[in-house]
Structure 1
Amino acid sequence: MNQPCTQFDLNTEDLAKICSSRHWQLLMKLAMPFKDGDEMFACAKNAFEQLSEADWLEAFAGHPMIGDLKTLEAKYGHGKALSEKEQSQVQGAAREVLEELLTLNHAYKKKFGFIFIVCATNKSAEEMLAMLKARIHRTHQQEIAQAAIEQKKISRIRMEAYL
């Protein structure tokens, strides 16, 4: 998984695709060049540990919110744009599931002030809905902490793409 490579840098655009927190991006730039993937992951972990709540909110804001049924249906309905692996997990969600997911997404954002963040890789619409239902009853601090964990997972997957 972590293949050795010669020293490398990620440019500003690459870092922004991984995580939209500008503070995280700056800390990563200061740590470059990375000798390999393990060093990059360690630096990312260190950078994440230095983020404030405002930095996390900036990172969360870089993700699109599922905002309408058309978007939900495109993502979960038929899975045409998803990878083969993701398609095996998504078997055409029922419209009722998509509608409830949309409604709860809006309720979540209203309650917490940021969108529902979850590492969605290989998760069905039904799984996402169950996670959202479980998390919407948490406190603000509990949810910031969970969303940060999810952001780290997402960022890890995105960093792996550069190795």
Structure 2
Amino acid sequence: MPTVNPAPPPDGLAAFNALDAGEAEAELLTCCASRAFARRVAAARPYPDADRLAAAARAAVRELDWTDVLEALAAHPRIGQAPGAQDTGREAAWSRREQSGVGAAGPELLEGLAEGNRAYERRFGHVYLVCATGLSAEELLERLTRRLGNDEETERDVVRTELAAITRLRLARLLGTTPAPEGTP
């Protein structure tokens, strides 16, 4: 009897929709490390298209309890401090890629980022989170410095917005698609 090669597995959104709940949650945790986020987005499958998945993810991030946001923040390295050599997973690679604008920064600018990170963590009690993709070290430091002036409520809203933007980009990478322009539902 001839050997029949099985059909290749589906890719992108079809593959994501076909995962069992645990596998889908594990994939989603690479995009946003909140278990509540992963459960909510996985439970709403199947998604008819990537834009609907992105909209569901954005809504899920925006509606997270603050403790769930803090859980997600714990998975992010400080800006200017790339993941360590032991961090070899997909999230670490994505973080390095997202922070690539810091790579050309001189020691003075890197020290400014390190000091800004410390000041931010003292003020707000968590890592400074920014969607760093496409930003230079100078832009990242300027945003950090500006955000140090925010009150707690304003900063929490900014953090949710940044987390949603990062999650959107990572979901697109997960699916092998190009993310829709910012602001697309």
- After TM superposition, is the score higher than 0.5? yes
Which residue of structure 1 aligns with residue 166 of structure 2? 154
After superposition, the Cα gap between the structure-2 partners of 1:67 and 1:42, relative to the gap in structure 1 and judged at 3 Å, is closer
Report the identity percentage: 33
Which residue of structure 2 aligns with residue 59 of structure 1? 72
After superposition, the Cα gap between the structure-2 partners of 1:5 and 1:23, relative to the gap in structure 1 and judged at 3 Å, is closer
Q: C-alpha separation between the residues in 2 aligned to 1:58 and 1:156?
A: 18
Asked if the contact 2:117–2:127 (Cα under 8 Å) also holds between the matched residues in 1, the reply is yes
After superposition, the Cα gap between the structure-2 partners of 1:118 and 1:105, relative to the gap in structure 1 and judged at 3 Å, is same
Residue 105 of structure 1 pairs with residue 117 of structure 2: yes
Alignment of 1:26-37 (within 5 A): 26-37=39-50
Q: Looking at secondary structure, tell me which structure has more strand per residue.
A: 1
Alignment of 1:4-153 (within 5 A): 6=14, 8=17, 9=19, 11-66=24-79, 71=82, 92-153=104-165
Name the amino acid aligned to 2:31. I
Q: Which has the larger radius of gyration?
A: 2
After superposition, the Cα gap between the structure-2 partners of 1:111 and 1:18, relative to the gap in structure 1 and judged at 3 Å, is same
Deviations 1:24-68 (A, max 9, x none): 111012101222202211221332232111111111112112476
Q: Which consecutive residues of structure 2, in runs of 5 or more, have no partner in the other structure? A: 1-11, 84-95, 176-185
Deviations 1:117-148 (A, max 9, x none): 00000111111110111001111111111011
Give the TM-score taking structure 2 as reference length: 0.70
Give the TM-score taking structure 1 as reference length: 0.79
SS in 2 for 1:161: helix
Asked if the contact 2:99–2:132 (Cα under 8 Å) also holds between the matched residues in 1, the reply is no
Bigger CA drift: 100-109 or 41-50? 41-50
After superposition, the Cα gap between the structure-2 partners of 1:26 and 1:91, relative to the gap in structure 1 and judged at 3 Å, is closer
After superposition, the Cα gap between the structure-2 partners of 1:162 and 1:138, relative to the gap in structure 1 and judged at 3 Å, is same
Asked if the contact 2:79–2:99 (Cα under 8 Å) also holds between the matched residues in 1, the reply is no
Q: C-alpha separation between the residues in 2 aligned to 1:152 and 1:144?
A: 12
- Equivalent residue pairs, number: 149
Q: What is the alpha-carbon root mean square deviation over aligned residues? A: 2.8
